[in-house]
Structure 1
Amino acid sequence: MTNTLLARAMGGTADPPLLPLPDRVAELLAELGSPPRLAAHLRAVHDVAHQLADWVGLTHPAVLFDREAVLFGAATHDVGKTVHVSELSGPGAEHEEAGRTLLLQHGVSPRLARFAATHASWAESRVGLDDLLVSLADKIWKNKRVPDLEDLLVARLAEVTGRAVWEEFIALDGVLARIGEGADGRLAFQASFPVGA
């Protein structure tokens, strides 16, 4: 039953429609015995990251970012919760470094594994645009607005485009409002899966 739930969380029919997790991520989660709720969460964040990456690509063609890294990072950012399962339903940050370590142990490059450790540390100066997009996807999937995070992304976009910060803010605000409208459905999808493996 759990394998069926996990498979459904990773790629089954979803309401609202959500893109399936990449095969590589699905295989890793199955191997790690991921709780179905974690897989559902990663799928929801991955779907939102797709929407953000599409928006940046279409509206900011001069902005260089690693789309595939962003999508992989969103799909694996909380993988450390396979080890720290209590952090699925409660606070904690032990999953961050544990996730990076797990990914590295499973042959994932440091370039891609880093998101497991950086998704909650977006305020640090070393964090790049790709990391900010993963962090934002991890917030906006449930329509949580984090002004400081959004301001960092707006500033990075304005640096590249040369547009005024307020113009970038209005554009980002519009796409986040649109994505946020689907939050209740994504939250219900995640909640429909058990925390236990």
Structure 2
Amino acid sequence: MPDSDALSRALETPAEPALRTLPPAVAALLHELAAPPRLAAHLRLVHEVAGRLADWLAAYCPGLPFAREAVLFGAATHDVGKAVHTAELSGPGSAHEAAGRELLLAHGFTEEQARFAATHADWAAPGISIEELLVSTADKVWKGKRVPELEDLLVGRIAEAAGTEPWAVFLDLDELLGRIAEGADRRLAFQAAFPV
């Protein structure tokens, strides 16, 4: 069973640069699940990056309606199923996706909130929302990984909403993602400091 003190440290330890605090309901759920500290650290990191993406999008395209709080919640819970499928914290696997959705629903969260746990790795599926694309992008770029197909989908959505050319959005988004990716080593080191 994971050490609850280590979990608390993963949820509260200051980082440089500073990390946003996870929503209280998410932190409480992680404690209730006795989630691995590394999972809590990972969720904080992706939550922070998703916040940066959402802040940028709100300023870049103020007319684009999107649910910023949903993006933050989705990032904070996207891998919660790894509390059950702990082997997927250090190895490949997708069992955590459906498990995370079911776990959130079983703990009283809505389908709208739980969807991110199931869709964060399935960003090419039909009907994926801009919120889901932002969470998927955050889940890649936090560690410096760039996925052109995913970024192209996000660029297309933003360009359509902004009524501008995709190449212009691409240049601006690429600059932001490049800046975020530069901090990947610090984020990876922060995550690795907590036990699985």
| TM class by smaller structure | over 0.9
* CA distance in 2: counterparts of 1:129 and 1:35, whole angstroms: 29
Aligned residue for 2:87?
Answer: 86
Contact 1:15 1:189 survives alignment (8 Å) = no
* CA distance in 2: counterparts of 1:15 and 1:22, whole angstroms: 20
Aligned residue for 2:188?
Answer: 187
Deviation at 1:20, TM superposition (A): 1.9
TM-score (norm 2): 0.97
How many residues were matched structurally? 195
Aligned residue for 1:65?
Answer: 66
* CA distance in 2: counterparts of 1:33 and 1:16, whole angstroms: 27
* CA distance in 2: counterparts of 1:33 and 1:98, whole angstroms: 16
* CA distance in 1: counterparts of 2:64 and 2:145, whole angstroms: 25
* CA distance in 1: counterparts of 2:178 and 2:71, whole angstroms: 20
| 1:170 equivalent in alignment to 2:171 | yes
* CA distance in 1: counterparts of 2:110 and 2:180, whole angstroms: 30
Aligned residue for 1:107?
Answer: 108
For 1:40-67, what per-residue CA distance to the aligned partner results, in whole angstroms no more than 9, with x for missing partners? 0000000000100000001110111100
Aligned residue for 1:51?
Answer: 52
Contact 1:21 1:75 survives alignment (8 Å) = yes
List aligned pairs for 1:149-168, cutoff 5 A.
149-168=150-169
Q: Using CA pairs under 8 Å that are at least 6 residues apart, name the structure with larger relative contact order, 1 or 2.
A: 1
Aligned residue for 2:129?
Answer: 128
Which consecutive aligned stretches of 4+ in structure 1 deviate over 6 angstroms post-superposition? none
Over the aligned positions, Cα root-mean-square deviation in angstroms equals: 1.0
TM-score (norm 1): 0.97
* CA distance in 2: counterparts of 1:139 and 1:7, whole angstroms: 25
Letter in 1 for 2:184: A
Contact 1:11 1:19 survives alignment (8 Å) = no
Contact 1:115 1:131 survives alignment (8 Å) = yes
Deviation at 1:15, TM superposition (A): 3.3
Letter in 2 for 1:44: L
Q: Unpaired segments of 5 or more residues in structure 1?
A: none
Deviation at 1:121, TM superposition (A): 0.2
For 1:69-122, what per-residue CA distance to the aligned partner results, in whole angstroms no more than 9, with x for missing partners? 100000000000000000000000000000000000000000010000000000
For 1:6-44, what per-residue CA distance to the aligned partner results, in whole angstroms no more than 9, with x for missing partners? 111112212342112111110000000100000000000
